[in-house]
Amino acid sequence: MTTTFPDKTLLPDDTASLRAAARFVREHDSAALLPLLLPGLVGPDLQALAGHCRFAHAGLLLFPPDADVLRAQLAVCGLAVDTPSHPSVVVRERLARRHGRDPAELDVRILRPQVPGRHGERRAVEVFALTVPPHSGLEPIAAHERAHQHEAHLAFEIEDPEPLALRGLCAILVRHGARPDGGGYNPHEDGTVLYFTLPVDAACDYGRLELYARGDHRDTLAAHLDHPGHPGHPGHSGHAEDPYDRTRRDGRQPAETLLHLLTGAWTTQALAASARLGLPDVMDTRTAYRSEDLARLTGTDRRSLATLLRYLAMLGAVTQEPEPEPEPEPEPGQESHRKQERFRLTELGALLRADVPGSMRSLALMYGGPFYRSFGGLDHAVRTGQPAFDHLFGESHFDHFARDPELGPLFDQSMAASSRMFHPLPGHPVITAAARAHAPATVVDVAGGNGELLGRILTAHPRLRGILLERPHAVAAARRRLDAAGCGARCDYRPGDFADVPPGGDVYVLSRVLHDWDDDRCREILRHCARAMPAHADLLVVERLLPADGSPSLASAWDLHMLCNVGGRERRADHYARLLADAGLSLVGHSPLPLDAHVLHARKAAAAAAGAAAVPDPVTRRS
């Protein structure tokens, strides 16, 4: 009998992995499970372990983009969505070591939704959740961890253990092939954890076992860590040692980490090339294709495409399927199809298709195209303070894209590719208050691009009207989008520049505009808005904010992008507050959005001082 977790050929996503873990916990007990983990475990040794060790939980690592998706996964699997969570320092540190990352980059939570056994036994699924937002750069970590399942484990709890009995149980585990693999004492829970790596012939794909004993057993823990089988012991052979830990000890990890960072350009071009070749468009997430067939469909060289596909598999954009049964020998003169690699598109890779909701294909083409070329001149931007894009192309990216019949629409589409950050905006108190006003209110989207954000707001609130101000070439695309969304009849379109901000609106929106410009131009834009705004009007500014404490953020990456490509910058909240004040506006507060974005709420200074900003921002932090 083989109990497999996870079945890598069948589980399409983390939800299936979570469902499989919950089923595993529900269906197994100690007496039946221990012989699967330790082949040859019978008789008195099995009785001793099964009599003292209660199967407590199965652990796994998931990679949701945000907390809402994690709650949805729990709900789909029949687990409590209100299960409390807290940071997992241990798993965060292990991931940081394995992947050469700063632990501060990794948001890992732990939660233990309850799963009763067949006879009502108290058990749980221990879920570690590493948040992996789109564009976060954490996707390779998720792909590697999904493939190797380092954190998948089974836990057994020993209640009220005697020190001598605990040592005896550890000795039984080691005698039957389990290898000591770390542990620790948690003073907050007053519990001791002993980790073991299971033998390679275990009839279960969980690779690790956790033994939990209530109380302080640091003497047993010290002996456990000093065992010759433990990777940290001087006499350990190193054959089963985690390679990431080994490289850290012998000094090679910094070089490997740097090498990984230096190949980031390859990642960008691999994803962009797959989009340019139309590879995701001839694949799907249900079917595995031979590389030969994909080469024929895309008009590419089979061997070269297979090389690209293997790299994309490492990134998590495709998965490489197990080999099918050998096909019959070909007729003389025909090429054999045996040992053909097969690849299936993942949900991540599907975002590079042109025909899916939320497609990010245009973003890949921009980052792998003109913006990729301009980053080759980053040293020029750093030396001179002038955009590398202007230096390379001889004009600003705004002028360059406006004149190019292909790049202009592609840039507007790429801006819409990050529209996930807009999801909470229609529910912002300023918007909802305008929608409930006695007289129909108007939302003015300044430099509103292709109308993605304004369309969301008008669709969510049928009583609102909209005005979109944009460059002439972009207005037509916005009109088509808003008409298709069914709200075009409630929107007016104003071709023009920032000097043409229409007066009389109730809510003004500046989404991802100010970071394109230096401070002087930002003040000018904000003054145009302030002049157009009636005394009661609100201004919502959507931008990424640089963290005040210097913690890792997508804003730091985009700050470099703005320097290199447009001459703009990302800013801290207090910096925006000063720019707003210079334009006669006051920052009321700001609240977070997805993808490390924020929405800043401002009003005219006099109105704010008089207390006119009576509607609070959610999770507002005062500047």
Tell me the per-residue pLDDT of 457-481, one tens digit each, with 9 for 90 and over.
999 999 999 999 998 878 888 899 8
Average pLDDT over residues 155-177: 85
Least trusted range by pLDDT, from 305-314, 321-330, 492-501: 321-330
Name which of 512, 583, 508, 514 is nearest 540 in CA terms.
Answer: 508
Strand boundaries in 226-322, DSSP class E: 289-290, 318-321
Pairing of strands 507-511, 442-446: parallel
Token pair in block for residue 608 = 């704010």
- Cα–Cα distance for residue pair 491/484, rounded to 1 Å: 13
Pairing of strands 507-511, 179-186: unpaired
Give the pLDDT of residue 246.
Answer: 32
Select the more confidently predicted residue: 407 or 38.
38
Task: Tell me the DSSP string of 285-301.
Answer: SS--EEHHHHHHHHT--
Token pair in block for residue 27 = 């269906």
289-290 sheet: strands from edge to edge: 289-290, 342-345, 318-321
- Cα–Cα distance for residue pair 90/153, rounded to 1 Å: 14
Least trusted range by pLDDT, from 8-12, 15-19, 90-94, 201-205: 8-12
Domain borders along the chain are: 2-249, 264-322+340-367, 418-621
Task: Using DSSP, state whether 130 is helix, strand or coil.
Answer: strand
Average pLDDT over residues 79-89: 88
Q: How confident is the model at residue 527 (pLDDT cuts 50, 70, 90)?
A: very high
- Cα–Cα distance for residue pair 547/569, rounded to 1 Å: 14
Name which of 529, 469, 459 is nearest 493 in CA terms.
Answer: 469
Strand boundaries in 82-222, DSSP class E: 85-87, 108-111, 124-130, 153-158, 179-186, 191-197, 208-214
Tell me the per-residue pLDDT of 40-71, one tens digit each, with 9 for 90 and over.
888 888 888 888 899 999 999 999 999 989 99
Which phi and psi (to 5°) does residue 476 adopt? -60, -45
For residue 545, what is the DSSP state?
Answer: B
**Peptide bond between residue 330 and the one before it cis (omega within 30 degrees of 0):** no
Give the pLDDT of residue 444.
Answer: 97
Give the pLDDT of residue 256.
Answer: 67
Token look-up 């096909």 returns 327
Select the more confidently predicted residue: 334 or 499.
499
- Cα–Cα distance for residue pair 130/146, rounded to 1 Å: 12
Q: Counting runs of H as helices and runs of E as strands, what totals does the chain give?
A: 27, 18
Average pLDDT over residues 531-548: 94
The answer to whether 55 and 33 have CB atoms below 8 angstroms apart is yes
What is the overall mean pLDDT for the chain?
A: 83
Q: Which residues of 153-172 are buried (b: 16+ CB within 10 A; e: fewer)?
A: bbbbbbeebeeeebeebbeb
The pTM of this model reads: 0.56
Name which of 157, 132, 128 is nearest 59 in CA terms.
Answer: 128
Q: Any idea which fold 264-322+340-367 has?
A: Arc Repressor Mutant, subunit A (1.10.10)
C-alpha count within 13 angstroms, C-beta hemisphere, residue 170: 33
The answer to whether 97 and 69 have CB atoms below 8 angstroms apart is no
Tell me the per-residue pLDDT of 243-296, one tens digit each, with 9 for 90 and over.
223 333 333 357 767 777 888 899 999 999 999 999 999 999 889 999 999 999
Maximum mean pLDDT: which of 57-61, 156-160, 168-172, 225-229? 57-61
Catalytic positions, written as ranges = 515
Give the pLDDT of residue 462.
Answer: 95
Task: Using DSSP, state whether 321 is helix, strand or coil.
Answer: strand
C-alpha count within 13 angstroms, C-beta hemisphere, residue 186: 13
Which phi and psi (to 5°) does residue 96 adopt? -60, -40
Least trusted range by pLDDT, from 328-342, 438-452, 559-573: 328-342
The answer to whether 571 and 403 have CB atoms below 8 angstroms apart is no
Q: Quick check: 328 pLDDT over 60?
A: no
Place domain 418-621 in its CATH homologous superfamily. Answer: Vaccinia Virus protein VP39 (3.40.50.150)
Tell me the per-residue pLDDT of 581-595, one tens digit each, with 9 for 90 and over.
999 999 999 988 887
Select the more confidently predicted residue: 442 or 407.
442
Name which of 566, 561, 607 is nearest 587 in CA terms.
Answer: 607
Least trusted range by pLDDT, from 90-104, 334-348, 535-549, 586-600: 334-348
Average pLDDT over residues 379-384: 93
Pairing of strands 507-511, 538-544: parallel
Token pair in block for residue 54 = 């209660």
